[in-house]
Amino acid sequence: MGVEALFEPRSIAVIGASEKPGKIGYAVMKNLVEYGYEGKIYAVNVKGVEIKVGNRVFKSYKSILDVPDEVDMAVIVVPAKFVPQVVEQCGQKGVKVLPIISSGFGELGEEGKKVEEQIVETAHKYGMRILGPNIFGVVYTPKKINATFGPTDVLPGKLALVSQSGALGIALMGWTILEKVGLSALVSIGNKSDLDDADMLDYFENDDNTGAILIYMEGVKDGRKFMETAKRVSMKKPIIVIKAGRSERGAKAAASHTGSLAGSDKIYEAAFKQSGVLRAITIGEAFDWARTLSNLPEPAGENVVILTNGGGIGVMATDAAEEEGLHLYDNLEDLKVFANYMPPFGSYKNPVDLTGMAGAEGYEGAVKAALENPNMHAIAVLYCQTAVLDPRDLADIVIREYNASGRKKPLVVAIVGGIEAKEAIDRLNEEGIPAYPEPERAIKSLAALYRWSNWKNRQKKE
Amino acid sequence: MGVEALFEPRSIAVIGASEKPGKIGYAVMKNLVEYGYEGKIYAVNVKGVEIKVGNRVFKSYKSILDVPDEVDMAVIVVPAKFVPQVVEQCGQKGVKVLPIISSGFGELGEEGKKVEEQIVETAHKYGMRILGPNIFGVVYTPKKINATFGPTDVLPGKLALVSQSGALGIALMGWTILEKVGLSALVSIGNKSDLDDADMLDYFENDDNTGAILIYMEGVKDGRKFMETAKRVSMKKPIIVIKAGRSERGAKAAASHTGSLAGSDKIYEAAFKQSGVLRAITIGEAFDWARTLSNLPEPAGENVVILTNGGGIGVMATDAAEEEGLHLYDNLEDLKVFANYMPPFGSYKNPVDLTGMAGAEGYEGAVKAALENPNMHAIAVLYCQTAVLDPRDLADIVIREYNASGRKKPLVVAIVGGIEAKEAIDRLNEEGIPAYPEPERAIKSLAALYRWSNWKNRQKKE
């Protein structure tokens, strides 16, 4: 179908590759090389210039037709007016998929839209698929592909991120690097002339490298197709959507920005609910949930256990759990095990208060006990930075115990504190253990996992 | 009164000062020296050891009575059993205020509570005041005082932070450093045997260095006193409170942790509302609001203007503004000025979309125009990181224009992006211009300012 070639191409050509740093045609070459793509890379440039990236030198071909090899994916960055001709040549060459970064099409109005349609027609004639136009590219970390003009060092992980907005998409790409959100893929879908959100869902549904999908959406063209696909995919993997325009005024502003219909927000809301899609209100919330949903297994039951060294953050987490409808495990016979890991004035009632004196041994024992007990289905480990235990050591303990347990139940972490706490949080996130600087954010992310899991279970019964 | 001596002591003694790094009695000495306190510092240690901090050497006195000078504040870190005697000696010496870091009093039960009461009686006999016991100390940045065993490099600013919890308080101290929240003061009030939240409010009410007060509270002893003080102080400065235990289960957990009454949350909620106190649900929310409330002037009217380079984040901000009841300015005659700073496909309707092409000139012109127009009462500057304008340059533009305008109306900033965006946000916050990584957080913080301002205006009318 061609979509696979977007993520697993055996060779990539950049049409409009440039030798000048600062140009998009250079940035894409640079990212492909520096992110470590192991397939063949071909540069196409009408002037036939030499392109240097680090200590690699690429000769460039004047046309894709001159490339002496099969090309699976051709990234197109030439000016809009040359795109139809380039697409035709790609078809003749037998390219499979075309991410078209070039802008100046449907986003400018009716005329550009017509050109878009012609391009798609040409592509389909040759069995090619088009991503875009008007995009910033595509990333697929399992194959070390960064074919974008955004930042280079995307953190590998299990979240597939799909953005309709180019500008916000690049900004979010930077955000994932800063905030240690690991990505399997990042796809800019732009004008969606051919491939759209639903096509991406189709691919990620069966992609073992992807655990969850996050879509920044401004609007969908084919609502029914999206909904049906989303509903089917949600049975396998969680889908998170950010779609602004909830308020009347926000919807109006969105309409003038994207040309989507105002007032249709209720329809989206209902469609998301029906198809198991989790709608996040803010970017922060979306990524908070994504950390948990892309990395953790589903809980086997409703019993949540909160472990803490601070009464205050324990209470905050409990408030959040109650408000989110989570069930704190109450069986004192089982919870009593935690008494072994706390001083006499601690409390093994859930939230389990290991007290401010809790050190490495206390946390290690308590985390292990919670992981081992089959009646405890999900764990929130909270830590308020003290002099007793360096938060980075806590992070190492959690990583070790969670790995040793086989990661069979969901476990989230919250660490409140300063620089060391931030380092500990980053370390955990880099290991795919969702960690947050506030107890409520950990609990709400766990709640999002339960919301998805419960929706799935209800669907199965129906 | 003695409270002034807590923030403006001419000399400080540390009773229980230690020569051993790792000891609290050393950490307090170290922080006093390294944070740059300019008054006299005296070490008191029964063994008379020498204490080295960097290249300063302190001889220590065996008793406070041996110090050959007046002492305004004595920080006490000796074991609990020696505290009564030390307090008596401080009284004889004429010390004015005693932060007692030592623990082992009321928090252990009735017996400790009695000792606490005796200590307070002794202190009052001599006209001394007590902070604590069971605290981590006190910070007052305008006088370069860091008399805590927490982190050293507190960022100076306009927020006074008061924490009842020692553990969480130290963690929050680290958080303010990490997140660039500038503090005027940080007070650990612990067991509140003498000085309490209300006394702190009394002081900060008239402290020109403090713009807003944030209290982490587990419970109050004298509700009427707190409420009356808070209501009076709220007429001058905003007060933010974090108090966990909203849910039934959370309240129960809080009760077992702090001994406060469960089920009283509704009473707190009503009291906060009546006295103009803003209750924040999470730590993050509290500090978000605090940045804006401690640094910005009150708006002169309801008209909010949103400037953005990204349609998507403009819509998100608009959604948040509508939900928070903010009024987006609608006068197109006035808004038309922004057309001068955008390409033809931009939109000067509020939210004002300068488009993804907006660079330094566009933002500079638009920010300036918004600051100059007296009908625009509050401004939210949003920026989605693009290649056109480095977010750090945007930060510099906003700092320059806001300072040039005399900072007469509230202005908040949100920048979505990666590492450079984070640096820009930090730079703005260090300059006392509230900046956030998400549009909604900027808008909600501005809304908190409006909530406080509106409460004040209603009170004046009554």
The model's pLDDT over A301-354, given as tens digits with 9 standing for 90+, comes to: 999 999 999 889 999 999 999 999 999 999 999 999 999 999 998 999 999 999
Q: Higher-confidence residue: A166 or B462? A: A166
pLDDT at position B194: 97
Q: Is residue B125 predicted with pLDDT exceeding 70? A: yes
What is the secondary structure of A380-429 as a DSSP string? EEEEE--SSS-HHHHHHHHHHHHHHTTS-S-EEEEEESSHHHHHHHHHHH
For A154-295, CATH gives: 3.40.50.261
pLDDT at position B261: 58
Would you place residue A258 in the very low, low, confident or very high pLDDT band (cuts 50, 70, 90)? Answer: low
Provide mean pLDDT across the span A100-107: 93
Share of chain B above pLDDT 70, in %: 98
| Helix segments in B280-409, DSSP class H | 283-295, 311-323, 332-335, 360-372, 391-404
Cα(A415)–Cα(A381) distance, integer angstroms = 8
- DSSP β-bridge partners for residue A188: A163
SS3 A444: helix
Beta-carbon-side half-sphere exposure of residue B248 (alpha carbons within 13 Å): 2
pLDDT at position B235: 98
SS3 B147: strand
- A427 — phi, psi (to 5°)? -60, -45
Provide mean pLDDT across the span A112-116: 95
Residue A391 forms contact with B (CB below 8 Å): no
Kind plus residue range of the DSSP H or E element containing A377? none
Q: Which two tokens stand for residue B132?
A: 């604590």
Buried b (16+ CB within 10 A) or exposed e, B413-429: bbbbbbebbbbbbbbbb
Q: Is residue A255 predicted with pLDDT exceeding 80? A: no
Listed by number, the residues of chain B in 176-215 with a beta carbon closer than 8 Å to a beta carbon of chain A are 177-178
Cα(B213)–Cα(B232) distance, integer angstroms = 13
Kind plus residue range of the DSSP H or E element containing B125? helix B110-125
Distances (CA, A) of A369 to A338, A401, A404, B86, B131: 7, 10, 12, 45, 40
Listed by number, the residues of chain A in 27-46 with a beta carbon closer than 8 Å to a beta carbon of chain B are none
Residues B172-187: tens digit of each pLDDT: 999 999 999 999 999 9
Please report where in the chains the tokens 């220590």 appear, as a residue. Answer: B60
Cα(A77)–Cα(A32) distance, integer angstroms = 14
Strands B212-216 and B156-163: parallel
CA nearest A188: which of A377, A426, A28?
Answer: A28
Is residue B423 within 8 Å of residue B391, measured between CB atoms?
yes
Would you place residue A260 in the very low, low, confident or very high pLDDT band (cuts 50, 70, 90)? Answer: low
- Where in chain A do CATH 3.40.50.720 domains reside? 1-135
Residue A168 forms contact with B (CB below 8 Å): yes
User: How far separated are the first and last CA of chain A, in Å rounded?
Assistant: 33
Cα(B201)–Cα(B197) distance, integer angstroms = 6
Cα(A454)–Cα(B42) distance, integer angstroms = 63
Distances (CA, A) of B58 to B42, B64, B90, B425: 7, 14, 20, 41
Is B328 in contact with A168 (Cβ distance < 8 A)? no
Would you place residue B257 in the very low, low, confident or very high pLDDT band (cuts 50, 70, 90)? Answer: low
User: To the nearest whole angstrom, how far is the Cα of A126 from the nearest Cα of chain B?
Assistant: 35
pLDDT at position B292: 98
- Chain B residue numbers with beta carbons less than 8 Å from the beta carbon of A256 are 347, 349
Strands A212-216 and A183-188: unpaired
H helices, E strands: number in chain B: 16, 21
Distances (CA, A) of B332 to B335, B339, B350: 5, 11, 9
Task: Name the CA dihedral angle for B413, B416, B422, B428, rounded to a multiple of 10 degrees.
Answer: -10
- Chain A residue numbers with beta carbons less than 8 Å from the beta carbon of B30 are none
Strands B11-15 and B327-328: unpaired
Buried b (16+ CB within 10 A) or exposed e, B128-154: bbbbbbbbbbbbbbebbbbbbbbbbeb
Q: Is residue B262 predicted with pLDDT exceeding 60? A: no
Is B167 in contact with A284 (Cβ distance < 8 A)? no
Q: How many CB atoms lie within 10 A of CB A377?
A: 19
Distances (CA, A) of B230 to A264, A276, B202, B276: 45, 46, 9, 8
User: To the nearest whole angstrom, how far is the Cα of A186 from the nearest Cα of chain B?
Assistant: 15
Residue B130 forms contact with A (CB below 8 Å): no
The set of residues, in sequence order, having a beta carbon less than 8 Å from that of A188 and lying 6+ positions away, is A99, A131, A132, A135, A136, A137, A138, A148, A163, A166, A169
Is residue A121 within 8 Å of residue A395, measured between CB atoms?
no
pLDDT at position A257: 65
Find the closest chain B residue to A415 by CA distance. B171
SS3 B3: coil
Q: Output the average pLDDT for chain B.
A: 95
Residue A216 forms contact with B (CB below 8 Å): yes
Provide mean pLDDT across the span A69-75: 97
Distances (CA, A) of B429 to A374, B150, B180, B207, B386: 47, 22, 6, 21, 21
Provide mean pLDDT across the span B335-357: 95
Would you place residue A251 in the very low, low, confident or very high pLDDT band (cuts 50, 70, 90)? Answer: confident
Distances (CA, A) of A33 to A26, A57, A137, A326: 11, 11, 15, 46
Provide mean pLDDT across the span B247-254: 86
Q: What angle do CA B12, B66, B58 make, to 5 degrees?
A: 55
Provide mean pLDDT across the span A261-287: 90
pLDDT at position A264: 80
Kind plus residue range of the DSSP H or E element containing B255? helix B248-258
pLDDT at position A253: 83
User: How far separated are the first and last CA of chain B, in Å rounded?
Assistant: 33
Is residue B290 within 8 Å of residue B159, measured between CB atoms?
yes
CA nearest A23: which of A78, A95, A92, A81?
Answer: A78
Is residue A390 within 8 Å of residue A360, measured between CB atoms?
no
pLDDT at position B222: 86
Residues B78-121: tens digit of each pLDDT: 999 999 999 999 999 999 999 999 999 998 889 999 999 999 99
Please report where in the chains the tokens 């001058």 appear, as a residue. Answer: B236
Distances (CA, A) of B352 to A262, B254, B396: 18, 46, 21
Is residue B436 within 8 Å of residue B412, measured between CB atoms?
yes
3-state helix, strand, coil in chain A (%, to 5): 45, 20, 35
Beta-carbon-side half-sphere exposure of residue A160 (alpha carbons within 13 Å): 26
Q: Give the start-end residues of each E strand in A45-164.
A: 50-53, 56-61, 73-76, 97-99, 129-131, 137-140, 145-148, 156-163
Residue B173 forms contact with A (CB below 8 Å): yes
Q: Residue A257: which of B256, B283, B311 has the nearest Cβ?
A: B311
- Where in chain A do CATH 3.40.50.261 domains reside? 154-295, 297-461
pLDDT at position A311: 82
Can you give the length of chain B in residues?
462
- ipTM value: 0.94
Q: Is residue A146 predicted with pLDDT exceeding 70? A: yes
CA nearest B153: which of B182, B125, B190, B113?
Answer: B182
Residues B61-83: tens digit of each pLDDT: 999 999 999 999 999 999 999 99
Q: Which two tokens stand for residue B43?
A: 């070490």
- Chain B residue numbers with beta carbons less than 8 Å from the beta carbon of A421 are 171, 174-175, 178
Would you place residue A298 in the very low, low, confident or very high pLDDT band (cuts 50, 70, 90)? Answer: very high
Q: Output the average pLDDT for chain A.
A: 95
Residues A407-416: tens digit of each pLDDT: 999 999 999 9
Would you place residue A174 in the very low, low, confident or very high pLDDT band (cuts 50, 70, 90)? Answer: very high
Provide mean pLDDT across the span B420-448: 98
The letter for the amino acid at B426 is D
Class of domain B297-461: alpha beta
For B1-135, CATH gives: 3.40.50.720
Q: Give the start-end residues of each E strand in B176-331.
A: 183-188, 212-216, 239-242, 278-280, 303-308, 327-328
Is B418 in contact with A173 (Cβ distance < 8 A)? yes
Cα(A29)–Cα(A25) distance, integer angstroms = 7
Is A171 in contact with B283 (Cβ distance < 8 A)? no
Q: What is the CA radius of gyration of chain B?
A: 24
